[in-house]
Amino acid sequence: MAYWLMKSEPDAFGIEDLQSRPAKTEPWDGVRNYQARNFMRDDMKKGDEIFFYHSNCKVPGIVGIATVASTPYPDPTQFDPDSDYFDPKSDPDDPRWILVDVKYKRRLKRILSLAEIKDHAEALGDFALVRKGNRLSIMPVSAEQWDYLLGLEKQ
């Protein structure tokens, strides 16, 4: 099993929104970055665990845990002219944008803020989240990093 971190802006879609969805599950649509897409398309497996991260907000940080709840499939919003994520260049016979469903598991007992995570950058090793200029919205987390961060939750 692999571990991931996925960013979302709480103003648009936060952990509470995921929790309140039917089946607590939501298609992770709108990803329009190839590297992030490739993680979903090529590497994610059903049951993988995800840190749910709130970005672009007052206290950015990890707020909960979700799981990968589907195999990869085409993001329907790319073919919807009314969607913000419509991509006229995407060919329905060879869809450009692929997503997975994400399912709510639990909230953390406390937010692990980006500031706190940065304080532990050394122990976390080469963690994409705290790399300078990082803008990836989906990134891998190693088992060691996962365990370390969950350990912080209890402190």
Partner DNA sequence: GCCAACGTTGGC
Closest CA to 3 of 135, 124, 95, 93: 124
CA 35 from chain center: how many Å? 13
Stretch that binds DNA, among 15-23, 62-70, 133-141, 144-152 (CB under 7 A): 133-141
Residues with Cβ < 8 Å from 82, sequence gap 6 or more?
none
d(CA 41, CA 100): 8
To DNA, the closest distance from the beta carbon of 85 in angstroms equals 10
To DNA, the closest distance from the beta carbon of 22 in angstroms equals 26
Total residues binding DNA (CB under 7 A): 20
Residues 78-117, mask of contacts with DNA (x by CB under 7 A): ------------------------------------xx--
- Candidate residues 16, 17, 20, 34; the one interacting with DNA per rule CB under 7 A: 34
Phi/psi at 3 (5° precision): -125, 150
State whether residue 152 is helix, strand or coil.
Answer: helix
Separation in Å, CA 137 to CA 77, 81, 122, 151, 152:
18, 24, 22, 23, 22
- Candidate residues 3, 4, 5, 7; the one interacting with DNA per rule CB under 7 A: 7
Residues 9-28, mask of contacts with DNA (x by CB under 7 A): x-------------------
Instruction: Name the residues that contact DNA, by CB under 7 A.
Output: 7, 9, 32-35, 55-57, 60, 114-115, 118, 131-137
